Amino acid sequence: CNAMETLLVHQAVAARVLPPLAAIYRDKGVELRGDAATRELLGGDVLEASEDDWFAEYNAPILAIRIVDSLEAAIEHINHYGSQHTDSIITENFSDARRFLTEVDSS
Q: What is the spatial distance between Cα 81 and Cα 91, in angstroms, rounded to a whole number?
A: 21
Render pLDDT for 20-68 as a digit per residue (tens, 0 to 9): 999 999 999 999 999 999 999 999 899 999 999 999 988 899 999 999 9
Q: Which domains does the chain have, with CATH numbers?
A: 6-103 (3.40.309.10)
Helix (H) or strand (E) holding 7: strand 6-10
Are the C-beta atoms of 61 and 30 separated by less than 8 Å?
Answer: yes
**pTM for this structure?**
0.91
- What pLDDT does 106 receive? 82
